[in-house]
Chains A and B, each alone.
Chain A
Amino acid sequence: MTHVQHHIPDAMLKAYASGNISPHFATLVAAHISMCEICRVALGAHEAVGGALLDVTKAVDVSSSLKTDVFSKLDAPFTPKPVFDRSGIYPGPIVQAMKGQEPRWKSLGMGIRQHIISYDKQGSLRLLYIPAGQAVPEHGHNGLELTLVLQGSFSDETGQFGVGDVEVGDEDLAHVPTADAGPPCICLAATDASLRFAGLIPRMLQPIFKI
């Protein structure tokens, strides 16, 4: 287990516990928890509150056949849902999101590559590959962007982020993340809105690259 310094914001853990976030963010949160014992325990705390609420909920009678139905199925064969294990640097939830496939990298220029895992009106989930020493063009955010480091590390105005760390970008953060020396930095990035690039050219390319 790596030494994680930057965690999932607690409000987002709560949203994850209760199912209030998009699948893009949910995948990133589940991936981080797979790497971070602290956030696993924090999620457990939210589930404990959820459980306590369930415990004190006023009971509503269930129909008499429900119990018979459930008992009649206890011995019935069933197919468990597939479990996705970690594969290399990718925790199980990312492997699940990629349906067990390897990433298919597309060049974004300057040695930076990306693999879009999913993209819809709720936002996007993608992998980014940034060679050591390379900076990602300065960009701001229209919404929320969470970045989870899977390999290597990057630094920006707010600090350094290594394997397992999560950076939270919102409307207030305009930053130039730069991959540190060492192996290429590979990150998982989840957004709920497009990014705003400062330079004109990246902005023109934005619709093409779907970022």
Chain B
Amino acid sequence: MTQQCFDIPYAMTLTPIAVGRERKLVTNKRPKVSEQTEWMLAVRDSRDRDAFSHLFDYFAPRLKGFIIKTGVSGAQAEEIVQDVMLTVWRKSAQFDPHRAQVSAWIYQIARNRQIDMMRKDARPIPEELKAEPHQEDDAMQILAMDQEAQKLKHAISKLSKDQRVAIEQAYLGELTHQEISDQSGVPLGTIKSRIRLGLERLRLELKGLRS
């Protein structure tokens, strides 16, 4: 049996792909993107320490809260936060706002870091896309990415507590379905359907926002 993908919310398909570059918008006025994106671009393009300071203040406490949920102690979590924030600074050139939101990019760095710490070998990651000769940022597309992040956040905030917990566990990782079940004392079938319902809900939320 060969399965095809795509039965889960497709955040990215919501992004209108800009066909041709909207030069006017790029050069004349810049639509308002989120502060996080502004800070990240300032770090990437000008090694701006003030911007990095803002990024740190926003993400470090959230990362700590996020990592603690995986069962790691506060002290260990802070070590991971430190590594993640240093990676954000050092690898900022790899941040591509056309392809990822700041939070998604940092989420992936945090997951990589945590997995690398648990294993001997570095986690296999896909080849980097060969960067095209530097093109101007496409403000429209960056904005669309940003707005999508807002919609996702909104969708998640509307989940029930159970759904939210199930999705968090699925995306926090290093917990198989069996382990989730052992931890919470809820039978496996229930957990699976909870995750499925949670994602279903998320997908519906996203669908409603699509138009």
Contact = CB atoms under 8 A, between A and B. Distances in A.
A103 interface: no
A113 B108 CA distance: 36
A39 B8 CA distance: 13
Interface in B90-133: 90, 99-108, 110-111, 114-115, 119, 121-129
B63 interface: yes
A63 interface: yes
A21 to B, nearest CB: 9
Interface string B60-81: 1111111011000010001001
B94 to A, nearest CB: 11
Interface residues of A, number: 71
B2 A6 contact: yes
Contact of B1 (A40, A46, A96, A172): A172
Contacts of B119: 23
Given A10-B6, A159-B2, A56 B61 contact: no
B66 A13 contact: no
Nearest to A118: B121
Contacts of B156: 49, 52-53, 56
Contact of A56 (B49, B81, B153, B173): B153
A42 B10 CA distance: 7
A168 B3 contact: yes
A102 interface: no
Interface in B139-168: 148-149, 152-153, 155-157, 167-168
B25 interface: no
Contacts of A112: none
B56 A60 contact: no
B122 A53 contact: no
A81 interface: yes
B175 interface: yes
A48 B11 contact: yes
A44 B86 contact: no
Contact of A41 (B12, B108, B110, B155): B12
Contacts of B202: 49
Interface stretch (A84-92, A127-135, A194-202, A203-211): A84-92
Contacts of B60: 62, 66-67
Given A45-B12, A48-B152, A23 B123 contact: yes
A19 B123 contact: yes
A27 B138 CA distance: 32
A115 interface: no
B174 interface: yes
A11 B8 CA distance: 8
Given A52-B152, A57-B66, A19 B5 contact: no
A6 B6 CA distance: 12
Contacts of A170: 1
B116 to A, nearest CB: 9
A42 B126 contact: no
- The residue among B63, B68, B107, B155 with the most chain A CB atoms within 10 A of its own CB is B107
B126 A40 contact: yes
A120 B8 CA distance: 31
B2 A55 contact: no
A104 interface: no
Given A10-B5, A42-B10, A52-B103, A26 B123 contact: yes
Given A18-B171, A57-B66, A59-B62, 11 more contacts: A10-B6, A19-B174, A26-B123, A42-B10, A45-B13, A50-B108, A51-B104, A51-B108, A58-B65, A74-B89, A85-B127
